[in-house]
Amino acid sequence: MPWSCSRWGRPCTSLTSRGRSSTGTDAPSICMAGYPASEAVGRNVAELLVHADDIGPATSIIGSTFTGRCWRGKFPVRNKSGERFSILTNGTPLYDDDDDGTMIGLVCLSLR
């Protein structure tokens, strides 16, 4: 098992664009989800990590975050092999540091 997996003891960080596709991820996220960055970046986050039964709530949470609200809680996800598990997550809007503070995506910090 690579050092970064260590039974998911480290928080996972991922970035999502306003188009709701993954724009970046870190080593613990890759271990938890089972997708290398080359397979995850550019794909719709909900379609990649959420079981079909949970797409509605996931889309609602992501949409709410894109209106400027933070979301914290426990949510069911799945990894590449299809294993379902829950994560504790904190989704926060990400703003550009330009003069008008344009929202450019969201940051999600998760822990299994």
Q: Judge whether residue 3 has pLDDT over 60.
A: no
Q: In total, how many domains does the chain have?
A: 1
Position 84 scores a pLDDT of 92
Indicate the burial class of 65 (C-beta count within 10 angstroms; 0-12, 13-18, 19 or more): buried
pLDDT tens for 16-67 read 666 555 655 666 566 677 877 788 777 777 888 889 999 899 889 888 888 8
Residue 38 forms part of a structural domain:
yes
Residue 107 forms part of a structural domain:
yes
Residue 26, domain CATH? 3.30.450.20
Residue 7 forms part of a structural domain:
no
Residue 59 forms part of a structural domain:
yes
Q: Judge whether residue 93 has pLDDT over 60.
A: yes
The residue range of the domain holding 58 is 12-111
Distance CA 107, CA 13 (A): 7
Q: Judge whether residue 2 has pLDDT over 50.
A: no
Q: Judge whether residue 9 has pLDDT over 70.
A: no
Residue 1 forms part of a structural domain:
no
Position 6 scores a pLDDT of 38
Distance CA 103, CA 82 (A): 32
Give the residue-averaged pLDDT of 67-86: 90
Q: Judge whether residue 87 has pLDDT over 50.
A: yes
Q: What residues are paired with 74 via a beta bridge?
A: 88
